[in-house]
Amino acid sequence: MNMFKPYENDTESTAIEDLTLENQTDCINLYGDLQITRDQHGLQIAKELQALLNAIIAELEADPALPEKIQRTPEGETDNPFS
Which residues, in sequence order, are CB contacts of 6 under 8 Å at separation 6+? Answer: 23, 28, 55, 56, 59
Residue of 28 and 72 predicted with greater confidence:
28
What number of CA atoms fall less than 13 Å from residue 12's CA on the CB side? 12
- H-helix or E-strand containing 18? strand 18-23
Helix (H, G, I), strand (E, B) or coil at 33: strand
The pLDDT-based confidence of 75 (bands split at 50, 70, 90) is: low
Q: Give the global pTM.
A: 0.81
The pLDDT-based confidence of 80 (bands split at 50, 70, 90) is: low
pLDDT digits (tens, 9 = 90+) for 28-53: 999 999 999 999 999 999 999 999 99
Q: How many CB atoms lie within 10 A of CB 3?
A: 8
Q: What percent of the chain has pLDDT above 90?
A: 80
Fill in the DSSP letter of residue 67: -
Please give the pLDDT value at position 79: 67
Please give the pLDDT value at position 54: 97
Domain ranges of the chain: 13-61
Please give the pLDDT value at position 62: 97
In this structure, are residues 4 and 21 in contact, taking their beta carbons and an 8 Å threshold? yes
